[in-house]
């Protein structure tokens, strides 16, 4: 919320604001693979520390130098830090948790992000109104330093796997050795991230097409986000009880169905119902991509594997809005909406057919019954 408005406040155009936000996504994709190699060299704790320090540095640059070229570079740095943090977190949870509790840990982690997405914009709005953009960004920079302190004091250091290489050849080996995983579970993760990112754009666009005012659209989005946020712990618990695959399938099918219903919305109340269904679909998948990636992470070249896994997810989240923009320009909003909805439904069918359950407890139980 803050960065695009900050760009406009210092005299940037709407196009420049969109470009800078887009560069943050580019920064994430560029950082995924190097962050995976850094895991093998320095370990997950140091990667997370570096990510938090980089985030604080980027926010500090935005605070001190309110000019477009600095904001552009800082946005890239934010993307680097976010991607590195996620790569380090997946690796750390893989080492620090048992498979039977991994779903709950990952969903709690995803839940804190969702809570931040609810509280952050509200807090930012209050701070901007009271103190302006620069002091608000400065406060966020300090909060990133607190994350550095938290990781330094309370996150255990786990030595990098001695057999892992931090050279580029590790990426090639990880891609070759896990080719089937990336072509099945990896493609499914890309599809889920694409549908997730698309819903965040299609919902407000549909509200605008229905001639709803900004307040009404904001209420619709907030209600959907509330449903989403309330489900993160139940989703994690279900992942550990019945497996990752059912939650993966349910999320894609619910998101695909709810997005397909958007062109049928007739006004405020029908849009709230669809947004709530979207929140349900997104909520049941809280942490599922990170959990599946953690389950599948091999003992050798784990850093390279996680880097590639994160890259697939980031490609999905970045390509969704771009795909919508292209289809809307060529065929209109309704066609774009149905296309993304169909992709979600097909993604759910693909997971049913091609993706195996990754929860060891579920797999062991299945073998016992045979």
**pLDDT tens per residue across span 105-123:** 888 888 887 777 777 777 8
Question: Looking at residue 243, what is its pLDDT?
Answer: 93
Rounded average pLDDT over 271-282: 94
Question: Looking at residue 186, what is its pLDDT?
Answer: 95
> Which pLDDT band holds residue 259 (cuts at 50, 70, 90)?
very high
Closest CA to 28 of 89, 85, 79: 79
Closest CA to 7 of 70, 80, 55, 82: 70
State which of 34-48, 151-165, 179-193 shows the largest mean pLDDT.
Answer: 179-193
The mean of the pLDDT values for the chain is: 86
pLDDT higher than 90, residue 274:
yes
Closest CA to 96 of 35, 44, 152, 49: 44
Rounded average pLDDT over 186-196: 94
171, 311 contact by CB (below 8 A): no
Question: Looking at residue 98, what is its pLDDT?
Answer: 85
Rounded average pLDDT over 222-242: 89
Pick 328 or 227 by higher pLDDT: 227
**Structural domains of the chain, ranges and CATH numbers in brackets:** 2-155+167-369 (1.20.1250.20)
pLDDT higher than 60, residue 287:
yes
307, 37 contact by CB (below 8 A): yes
Rounded average pLDDT over 70-89: 92
Closest CA to 307 of 29, 93, 52: 29
**pLDDT tens per residue across span 44-77:** 899 999 999 999 999 999 999 989 999 999 999 9
**pLDDT tens per residue across span 328-344:** 888 888 898 999 999 99
Closest CA to 203 of 256, 259, 255: 259
pLDDT higher than 60, residue 84:
yes
Weakest mean pLDDT among 57-61, 88-92, 276-280, 298-302: 298-302
pLDDT higher than 90, residue 158:
no
Specify the pTM.
0.84
Percent of the chain residues topping a pLDDT of 90? 44
> Which pLDDT band holds residue 367 (cuts at 50, 70, 90)?
very low
Closest CA to 298 of 196, 210, 175: 175
Q: In angstroms, rounded to a whole number, what is the distance separating the alpha carbons of residues 341 and 350?
A: 14
Question: Looking at residue 161, what is its pLDDT?
Answer: 62
Q: Is 233 helix (H, G, I), strand (E, B) or coil?
A: helix
Question: Looking at residue 363, what is its pLDDT?
Answer: 43
Rounded average pLDDT over 177-199: 93
Q: At what angle do helices 44-64 and 14-42 cross, to 10 degrees?
A: 150
């Amino acid at each position: 919320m803050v960065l695009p408005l900050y760009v406009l406040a210092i005299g940037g155009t709407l196009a420049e604001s969109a470009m800078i936000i887009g560069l943050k996504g580019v920064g994430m994709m560029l950082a995924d693979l190097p962050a995976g190699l850094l895991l093998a060299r320095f370990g997950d704790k140091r990667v997370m520390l570096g990510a938090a320090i980089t985030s604080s540095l980027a926010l500090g640059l935005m605070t001190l130098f309110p000019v477009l070229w600095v904001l552009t570079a800082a946005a890239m740095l934010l993307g680097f830090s976010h991607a590195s943090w996620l790569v380090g977190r997946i690796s750390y949870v893989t080492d620090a948790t048992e498979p039977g509790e991994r779903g709950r840990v990952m969903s709690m982690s995803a839940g804190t992000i969702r809570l931040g997405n609810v509280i952050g914009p509200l807090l930012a709005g209050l701070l901007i109104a009271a103190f302006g953009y620069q002091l608000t960004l400065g406060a966020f920079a300090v909060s990133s330093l607190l994350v550095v302190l938290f990781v330094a004091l309370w996150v255990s250091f786990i030595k990098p796997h001695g057999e892992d290489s931090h050279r580029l050849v590790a990426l090639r080996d990880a891609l070759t050795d896990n080719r089937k995983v990336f072509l099945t579970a990896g493609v499914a993760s890309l599809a889920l991230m694409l549908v997730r990112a698309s819903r965040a754009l299609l919902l407000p666009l549909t509200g605008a097409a229905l001639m709803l005012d900004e307040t009404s659209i904001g209420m619709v989005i907030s209600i959907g986000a509330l449903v989403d946020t309330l489900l993160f712990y139940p989703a994690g618990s279900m992942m550990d009880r019945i497996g990752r695959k059912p939650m993966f399938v349910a999320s894609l099918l619910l998101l695909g169905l709810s997005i397909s219903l958007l062109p049928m919305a007739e006004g405020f109340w029908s849009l709230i119902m669809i947004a709530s269904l979207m929140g349900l679909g997104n909520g049941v998948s809280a942490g599922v991509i990170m959990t599946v990636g953690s389950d599948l992470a091999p003992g050798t070249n784990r850093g390279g594997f996680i880097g590639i896994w994160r890259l697939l997810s980031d490609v999905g989240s970045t390509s969704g809005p771009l795909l919508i923009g292209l289809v809307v320009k060529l065929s209109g909003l309704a066609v774009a909406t149905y296309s993304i909805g169909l992709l979600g439904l097909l993604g759910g069918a693909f997971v049913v057919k091609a993706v195996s359950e990754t929860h060891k407890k579920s797999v062991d139980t299945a073998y016992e019954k045979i």
